[in-house]
Chains A and B, each alone.
Chain A
Amino acid sequence: MKRNVAIIGGGQTYHAARRHDVNQVEMTNEAIRRALDDAQMRIDEIDAVLVSNMEFFEGTHMTDCWMADGSGAYGKPGIKITTGGTVGATTVCVGAHYVASGLFDNVLCVAFEKQEEGDTGAILSSVAHPLWGRSLAGAAVGYFAMMGSSYMAAWGAKEEHSAMVAVKARQNARKNKYAHLKLDITIEDALNSRMLAWPIRMLDMCPASNGACAMILADEKTAKDRCKKPVWIRAMETAHNEQFELDWRDVKTKRPIFSKVCASRIYKKLGVSDPAKYFDVFEVYEPATWAELVWYEDLGLCKPGEGFKLIEKGMTNIDGPIPVNPSGGVLSTNCIGASAMLRVWEAALQIRGDAGGHQVPKDVNRALTTAYGGTNWAVMTALSKTLD
C-alpha cells in the first residue's frame, strides 16, 4: 500500500431481533458514537464518511442520503457502498484505499442492517437472475442446504459435524456481550432443532439481526499520534465468482472459485505458506454451519475434505490452536450489511486484546477475516499488531 492504514477505533451496537425502540439512523448512530468514543475523536475531525448496507433491505435506496444526520456525513465527502453480504468488508476496503492513497487522513466506515423492517427473503430473491432460477430463490437456507448435502456426499461428513459448528458459535456468543444468539446449547440440541431444509436445521442457520458497526481508519501518522493500540490493515483482496455456476456448493471443484482465489492472492501478498500458523485468529463469514467447514478448506487451514475433522478435534475452538469466530460469528449475529465489518472489527479487538469475554487465550499478532455474499464473491482482510 502507498501509505500504511490503521484501524484507530470502532464500535458496534448490541444485536437483537427487535429494535423497535430506534429507527435506522438512531440505531446506526449508536455504533458511530461508540467508534468515535473509542478513537477519542469528534465527528468534526472525520475527513470522509462511507455508509453501507444491503440494497433495499429497509425499503429505501440511497440510505447514505437519509442517514446524513446520524452518520455525520453532512457536508463531508463519502459514498454509499452496496456489495451484498460482503459490504461491510468492502467498505473497510474502500476506506483503506481512501487513506492509503493519501486522499484523506481518516475515514469513518459505517455499516448497518435493520432486518426486522423488511422482508429479507423477498429482497434476496432479487439477487437471482430475473429469467433464470428465480422461482426457487428467496432464502439463503436452500442454497446452504445444497452445500451441506453436497459436502456430506463428497467427504463423508455427518450432521453431527455441522452441529458441532452450531454449538461452538453459540457458546462463543455467550462470551460476547454484543452477540445476538447467546445460546447454551449442546450437540443434541442442535441435532434436535427443527428441520428447515435438509440437512440445515434451525440451529445450523444464522438469525435475522438488527445492528450496526462503525470503524475509523487513519494513516500511519494520525494513528501513531492519536491511538494507543492501532491495528494495521496489511492486505485486502476481493474475488468474484462466475454467475450461474455451481460455485460454493461444488465442494470438489478444481476450478479457481472465489474463496480459494481470494485466499491464495492475499497469502501471496503477505508471503504466507501456512495460514493456520501465520494467523493467530480467524473471523469468517458463515451464514450457515456448513459454510464454516468449507471456509476451513478454502482458506487452507486443512486439506480439502478435512474441514469437518478440524471441528471434530476442537482445533478451531476459542482455546484451540486455530481459533475461528471467537465472537460467535455470523451464526450468532447477522445484521447482514454490518456482518462483514463485524468480522474485521472483532479481529481488530482480538489483536488489541480488547475482546473481553471472548478474547482468545493466546498472543494475537495477526488475524484474517473473510466476507461472503451476493452471487458468490469474497472479500478478505488481513490485520496485524505491528508493521513488521
Chain B
Amino acid sequence: MTKKEKELISIPITVNVPYRFAAGKYMTKFLMELKNNGKILAIKCPKCGRVQLPPRVVCAQCHVKNDEWVELSHEGTLVAFTIMYLPLTDPTTGKPHKPPFVYGSVRLDGATSVLDHLVNIEPTMDKVWVGMRCKVVLRPQKDRIGDLSDIRCLEPLPGQKKPRG
C-alpha cells in the first residue's frame, strides 16, 4: 500500500491574493479617533443601551440605528485569556507571534463588548487570571497608522496579585 502510494504525486501550490477592504463610516471614525487623538470610541444603542465595540451602524439585537458615540476608558477587566504555546502566524503580517505569549479578552470600562488582544505579561499562570485589571497600550502618536494595530497590547495595572483559590 505504502509503495503504491509513493507512485502518486501531489503538487504544491501557493495562492497569494491581495485584498483592499473599505472600513465604512463608523470604523473609519473609530480608527481616525484612535490614530489622531488616542481615543477609543464605542457606539451605544438607543434602545437596549449596549455600548458596542467595534462601532457598527445597526444594533443586531434591536434592529435600530446606533447613533450615540461613547468614549471608553483605557482600562478594563480581563474576562478570558490563554497562554499560547504555538507559533501562531499573524495573518495581518505573515509573521508568527513568538510563543509562549498571552492573549485575552478585555471588557473596557463602560463597554458591553470585549476586545481581544495580546497581553504584555510574563506567560505564567500566577501572573494572569480572569478578573485581572488591564489597560490599553497605544503606539506613540507619531507611529500610528490608522488600523487596529495602533492598539499595541494590553498591560496589567500595577499593584495587583492573583486571588488565591
Q: Which residue of B lies closest to A116 (CB)?
A: B10
Say what secondary structure dominates the interface of chain B.
Answer: loop
Size bin of chain A's contact surface? 35 or more
CB contact between A146 and one of B27, B85, B105 (< 8 Å): that residue = B105
Complex CA–CA separation, A351 to B27 (angstroms): 50
- A132-B148, A149-B80, A245-B113 given as contacts; is B88 within 8 A of A138 (CB)? yes
A122 and B103 in contact (CB under 8 A), knowing A21-B5, A131-B21? no
A-B pair number, CB within 8 angstroms: 119
Please encode chain B, from 132 to 149, with 1 for each CB lying within 8 Å of some chain A CB and 0 for all others.
Answer: 000000000000000111
Instruction: Say if the beta carbon of B74 comes within 8 Å of chain A.
Output: no
Please tell me if B32 contacts chain A, counting CB pairs below 8 Å: no
* CA distance in complex: A245, B51 (Å): 11
Main SS at interface, chain A: mixed
* Segment with Cβ contacts to B, from A27-35, A195-203, A327-335, A353-361: A195-203
What separation, in Å, do the CA atoms of A59 and B23 have in the docked complex?
27
Interface 0/1 of A238-252, CB less than 8 Å to B: 000011111001100
B1, B15, B31, B84: the one within 8 Å of A197 (CB): B84
CA of A128 to CA of B85 in the docked complex: distance in angstroms? 21
**By the criterion of a CB under 8 Å from any partner CB, how many residues of chain B are at the interface?**
48
Q: With A and B bound together, what is the CA distance between A246 and B81 in angstroms?
A: 12
Residues on the A chain within 8 Å of B60, using CB = 242-243
- A145 adjacent to B82 (CB under 8 Å): yes
User: Quick check: is A101 within 8 A (CB to CB) of the other chain?
Assistant: no
**A142:B21 contact, CB within 8 angstroms:** no
Known: A131-B21, A246-B105. 11 other contacts (CB 8 A): A20-B10, A128-B91, A131-B147, A135-B92, A135-B148, A138-B91, A142-B103, A150-B130, A197-B85, A244-B52, A249-B105
Closest 4 CB pairs of A and B: A145-B82, A153-B130, A146-B80, A125-B91
